[in-house]
Structure 1
Amino acid sequence: MDRAMTFRLLVAGSLMLALAACGGFREQLGLTKQSPDEFRVVSRAPLTVPPDFSLRPPEPGAPRPQEGTSAQQAERAVLRNSAGQPTVVTQTAINPNRSLGEQSLLNAAGAQSAEPNIRLIVERETNQINEESERFVDRLVFWNAQAPAGTIVDPQAELRRLQENAALGQSPTTGPTPQIERRRRAPLEGIF
């Protein structure tokens, strides 16, 4: 009996191990998370009470009449104004170079109230964003502070030179202008 019991335990253990190794076993037990496919989730029209109670109930799988086809939904989305009413295009507003549909689309999009110099505004904003991003990239690439361009004049020595030239009666441009020499930084200076 001891051998038979050991054999049963061994068989039961191997079966449990084999079943635990299967991916479908965990799903069948409900141990895995089932998230919905975001591409299959669609919005449904709200439920409403029909005005006529003698209507037959809808059949499962039948298209909903209030939703319409995707072409009808697109048409409603494009050709309705903010109040939900269809946009009406009068004959006086029609451009002879545009069709009635194009003119209706422009009216619904608010083309009459467009900023006249929008290209200049967009160009200015884009240039500003590009300059800011270039400065950011420069700070990342050239992390150590760059020396300002030009030479630095030593103010005390220049004042002395100008006073000497004035005392001797010479022109202020006589003699070399004293400059401060910048010390070159070592390649790894400032890292640590």
Structure 2
Amino acid sequence: MRKLILAAGLISMLSACGGGGGLFNRDRPDEFAVSRQAPLVIPPDFALVPPAPGTPAAAQVDSSKAAMEAMFGGPAARSAAETGTLSAAGRANAAAGIRSSAGDPGTEVVEKGATTRDIIAAPEGDGQDARASTPQ
């Protein structure tokens, strides 16, 4: 009896696998029947809109200035703290071309000492040759 039930179950499970040909007899698309689509065409209704009267022509706009204004929003007003700091530092007394004459021999500087001169005069490097010594 047990063998009969097992055989009936096995036959019913295998009957679900039928289908008349299995793996090689199923419907597939024909890869050689594929055709190309026609390219998209922009209808003539979507032509460029002429510029509005009074707006500058595209060639007259400074692109670098427009990009800076788009990124940073143009010049911003200084805060009260920044204005006060600049006034205390002597903004009104600074010469207009001071940055171009900062390395002039006539420029007054404050002596910082021998250690600062040694640091500034040190050759550039990656720091591998740097050594530190401590007095004992």
Range class of TM-score, shorter chain? under 0.3
Between Structure 1 and Structure 2, the one with more helix by share is 1
If the length of structure 1 is used for normalisation, what is the TM-score? 0.19
If the length of structure 2 is used for normalisation, what is the TM-score? 0.24
